[in-house]
Amino acid sequence: TVLVLDFGSQTSHLILRRLRSLNVYAEMLPCTTKLADLDWTPIGIVLSGGPSSVYDEGAPSVDPAIFDLGIPILGICYGCQLLAYLINDKNVARGEAREYGETDLTIHNVGSSNAGRLFEGFDDTLHVFMSHFDKLVHLPEGFVTIASTKNTAYAGIAHESKPIFGIQLHPEISHTNRGTDILANFAIKICKARPNWEMGNFTEKEIIRIRKLVGDNAQVIGAVSGGVDSTVAARLMKEAIGDRFHAILVDTGLMRLDECQQVKETLREHLGINLTIVDGGELFFSRLAGVVEPETKRKIIGETFIDLFEKEAIRIEEEAKETPRAGKVEWFLQGTLYADLIESLSFKGPSATIKSHHNVGGLPARMMNGQAQLKLIEPLRELFKDEVRAFGRQLGIHEDLVMRHPFPGPGIAIRILGEVTPERVEIVRKADHIFISMIKEAGIYDQMSQAYAALDTNRAVGVMGDSRVYGMICILRAVTSVDFMSAEPFEFPFQLLKNICRRIVNEVDGITRVVYDCTSKPPGTIELE
Ligand code: XMP
């Protein structure tokens, strides 16, 4: 395993992705990690970029023990400056100008020595992506220059004899030509990583880890939503600990058409998972009555989820007392993915900036099973969405579910601009069903990342038959996105969009107009509330 130490760069996780695309297994940990705390020894270490300046007080640094291991080290951007700075603090200073964007890198021919190995097989110049203000002002002792740019004399450095390398450019960013080849040279040629990592290894490894963590007796509960992440996590849990895992689906009354039924079929009947469906519809609607403020809606929904889960955890705990083979409910499963964790993983620690909506309103911070706080188990935390999908397929989960667009925990409630009522939810369900069915019929569902219908509860006039009618406005939204942090509106063929609108107005009582939201994110968000 190659260890990536994260210093907080926006693109640190991409280093992992590139390494894994080479079938090299890598894990990322905060830069504050002490090597002595790991129960494995890395074969090489990558120090990521980061927003700080190495000479600032309190700037993140690294466990000096990494230099004693004798294993290869690659510093990228901040990581490169840190290497130089740790050798001698005179080595790094603020540059006169920020070097940001694409530039040409000159690779220096340092022969076949140790230092030449990082750019082995490369031509003399390379188009790369840089983003830095600070730079190296001196070459650290024992190092040679392996690359430079117009503005940066030491854009690439390498120790003459030890396998220590530093590059100012970002090989993980797609604008850097052959960036993956640089990482391949480091991981495969220099660290001697065997490129044999596959999802299959992940399953085995994770099942062993879960069994060890949970032990022979404890029970685990987890919320499932019907989305690919929670389904894959549940399937893995079932494989690891069998019936000691209990999946809970809260029917909020805010889910899409037939969704609850589909989740039931998939989990209970197809995957054989212990599934309890908690009917919370009435409770959600009663608590949401009269509420129009979006954040208040979200809070109410989050709280209600927690209340219902807590009740279930206690019930399962009580039942367990009568079952000799199952112990206490100690763990709470979440299908958190790597992307959800990026902020909390960074060296800043579990920061306040993590999006509150990545779990349903604070779960499991407040989740108790009667006596103790439930511990969190997140078997997918090292995976990216496409990896979870591949994994889901491997576990035999149906393709429709594997490729399903994400659906937010608060459901249709945050897709109704105004008060949430059962009648309005029904309207959105029907419109959404028409929209998504027509997208699927057109064969373009997989081309977009997320699509849905929402409701503006203001009234607009329409003409139906010979009379004026007033109805609500249906808002259609469809976006493409890589990471859901930014998104672009999907470009529908206009005729298809018109056909969709016509069907919705004709078939859904209560809607007189349909509009398509063309806002990018930013400045918009994907959901309306
Ligand atoms: P935004 O609206 O923030 O959405 O651009 C980004 C992604 O997150 C989903 N989303 C949520 N998911 N609970 C969730 O589980 C929520 O409260 C929530 N709000 C937004 C949204 O559907 C999109 O995929």
| pLDDT tens digit at each of 529 positions of the chain | 999 999 988 888 889 889 988 999 898 889 999 999 898 899 999 999 998 999 999 999 999 999 999 999 999 999 999 999 999 888 888 887 777 888 999 999 877 688 999 999 999 999 998 888 898 999 999 999 999 999 899 999 999 999 999 999 999 988 899 999 999 999 999 999 999 988 778 888 899 999 999 999 999 999 999 899 999 999 999 999 999 999 999 999 999 999 999 999 999 988 899 999 999 999 999 999 999 999 999 999 999 998 998 899 889 888 877 776 678 889 999 888 876 665 444 444 333 333 344 454 456 667 776 666 788 899 998 888 888 998 888 888 889 899 999 999 899 999 999 999 999 999 999 999 999 999 999 999 999 999 999 999 999 999 888 889 999 999 999 999 977 878 999 999 999 999 999 999 999 999 999 999 999 998 999 999 9
HSE-CB for 501 with a 13 A CA cutoff: 17
Residues 318 and 436 in one domain: no
Other C-beta atoms closer than 10 Å to the C-beta of 515 total: 13
- Which residues make Cβ contacts (< 8 Å) with residue 351, sequence separation at least 6? 343, 344
Pocket test for ligand 1, best of 297, 526, 529 (most atoms within 8 A of CB): 526
Q: Residue 132: beta bridge partners?
A: 99
What residues does ligand 1 touch, defined as CB less than 6 Å away? 298, 357, 406, 408-410, 450, 484, 521, 525-527
Give the pTM.
0.76
230 in a known ligand binding site: yes
Taking a C-beta distance cutoff of 8 angstroms, is the pair 118, 190 a contact? yes
Has residue 494 been placed in a domain?
yes
DSSP codes, 343-370? HHHSTT-S-TTS-GGGSSTTTTTT-BSS
Examine the fold and report which residue of 157, 190, 223 is the final residue of a domain before the chain moves on: 190
Taking a C-beta distance cutoff of 8 angstroms, is the pair 487, 520 a contact? yes
Give the closest residue (by CA) to ligand 1 atom 9: 408
HSE-CB for 318 with a 13 A CA cutoff: 7
Q: Residue 462: beta bridge partners?
A: 469
226 in a known ligand binding site: yes
Residues 175 and 242 in one domain: no
Q: Say what angle helices 199-214 and 385-394 make with each other, to 10 degrees.
A: 90
469 in a known ligand binding site: no
Quote the CA–CA distance of 225 and 242 in Å, as a whole number.
Answer: 20
Say which residue the tokens 């199952």 belong to: 326
Q: Does the annotation count 191 as an active-site position?
A: no
Residues 228 and 98 in one domain: no
Distances (CA, A) of 383 to 14, 18, 202, 388: 12, 13, 10, 6
Residues 235 and 325 in one domain: yes
116 in a known ligand binding site: no
Has residue 137 been placed in a domain?
yes
Residues 262 and 347 in one domain: yes
Would you state the structure tokens that stand for residue 492, as one six-digit string? 């529908």
Residues 120 and 217 in one domain: no
Q: What is the number of structural domains in the chain?
A: 3
Torsion region of 475: left, alpha or beta (phi above 0 gives left; psi -120 to 50 gives alpha): beta
31 CA from centroid of ligand 1 (Å): 29
Taking a C-beta distance cutoff of 8 angstroms, is the pair 78, 37 a contact? no
pLDDT of 350: 34
Would you state the structure tokens that stand for residue 21, as one six-digit string? 């695309």
Taking a C-beta distance cutoff of 8 angstroms, is the pair 478, 432 a contact? no
Distances (CA, A) of 166 to 46, 63, 74, 447: 10, 17, 5, 39
Catalytic entry in 132, 159, 170, 246: 170
DSSP state letter for 72: -
Give the closest residue (by CA) to ligand 1 atom 7: 484
116 CA from centroid of ligand 1 (Å): 46
Q: Say what angle helices 228-241 and 385-394 make with each other, to 10 degrees.
A: 50
pLDDT of 352: 32
Examine the fold and report which residue of 166, 190, 214 is the final residue of a domain before the chain moves on: 190
By DSSP bridging, strand 219-223 and strand 450-464 are unpaired
Q: What are phi and psi of 13, to 5 degrees?
A: -65, -25
Q: Residue 99: beta bridge partners?
A: 132
Residues 423 and 339 in one domain: no
pLDDT of 346: 42
Quote the CA–CA distance of 335 and 388 in Å, as a whole number.
Answer: 10
Examine the fold and report which residue of 190, 218, 237 is the final residue of a domain before the chain moves on: 190
Domain span holding position 207:
199-402
Has residue 527 been placed in a domain?
no
Q: Say what angle helices 199-214 and 228-241 make with each other, to 10 degrees.
A: 60
Residues 397 and 445 in one domain: no
Query: What atom of ligand 1 comes closest to residue 355's alpha carbon?
Result: 3
Looking at residue 315, which CATH number applies to its domain? 3.40.50.620
Residues 425 and 357 in one domain: no
By DSSP bridging, strand 92-107 and strand 143-148 are antiparallel
